[in-house]
Amino acid sequence: MSSMTLFASPFAASMAVHLVLEQQARPFTIEWLSRGPQRQIRGEAYAALNPKRRVPALLMPDGELYTEITSILYHLEPPSRAHLEWLSFLATELHQAILGPMFDPATPEAGRQDVIDRLLPPCLAVVTKRLDDAPFLVESATGAPMGADAYLYWGLMLLHTANVDGLRAPSLQAFQRRISSLDHAEQVLAVERRQFMATR
């Protein structure tokens, strides 16, 4: 089987796709890209390939480029309505509505604080409630985490770097530990960290 290419930036949302590819032991290489102003990836070569200038993007062996994290993660797993539902929730409610403005240095401080105080708690309450009842967001046939779990894992990891409440819920902490302890996750974190340090 020929290899896929993941276009990624260290510790960006592309890490969720990195986790899934590694967990599934798919053959892939990573093309690391650097982030630029206006929340757009730098470089004209990448812009020509993916005019959205965002990561992740996944170049398939047949030459087709998949973009949009929801679509990529959905297509890497067996079709499941519940999976698509969680992916959509995470992409729209957590990633774009909360993490995007929170970690954009151009967001005014009042806007950032409003996101933390008003939008983050109900969003965290939804995932916490689910994880109070289940080890992962989506029940897979094998019991292993799915793409939505990798996506949430990344989102929570990012939130831990900011001083926000709501992350101490036992089920959230257990979820993070459950994924962190998996061999493939340790390996992905080491690779992302090495790339992050190399490009600082």
Ligand X SMILES: N[C@@H](CCC(=O)N[C@@H](CS)C(=O)NCC(=O)O)C(=O)O
Q: How far is the CB of 17 from ligand X (least distance, A)?
A: 9
Q: How far is the CB of 142 from ligand X (least distance, A)?
A: 26
**CB closer to ligand X, 35 vs 130:** 35
Could you give the CA distance from residue 114 to residue 101 in angstroms, rounded to a whole number? 10
**CB closer to ligand X, 169 vs 191:** 191
Q: How far is the CB of 29 from ligand X (least distance, A)?
A: 19
H-helix segments, 134-182: 147-160, 170-180
* Cα atoms in the Cβ-side hemisphere of radius 13 Å centred on 45: 5
H-helix segments, 90-119: 100-102, 109-114
Q: How far is the CB of 170 from ligand X (least distance, A)?
A: 28
The CA-based dihedral angle spanning residues 17, 22, 28, 30, taken in that order and rounded to the nearest 10 degrees: 60
- Interface with ligand X (CB under 6 A): 12-13, 35-36, 39-41, 54-55, 68-69, 91
Residue nearest to ligand X (CB): 35
**CB closer to ligand X, 20 vs 41:** 41
Q: Read off the amino acid at residue 29.
A: T
Residues in CB range of 78: below 8 A, 6 or more apart: 140, 141
Q: How far is the CB of 54 from ligand X (least distance, A)?
A: 4
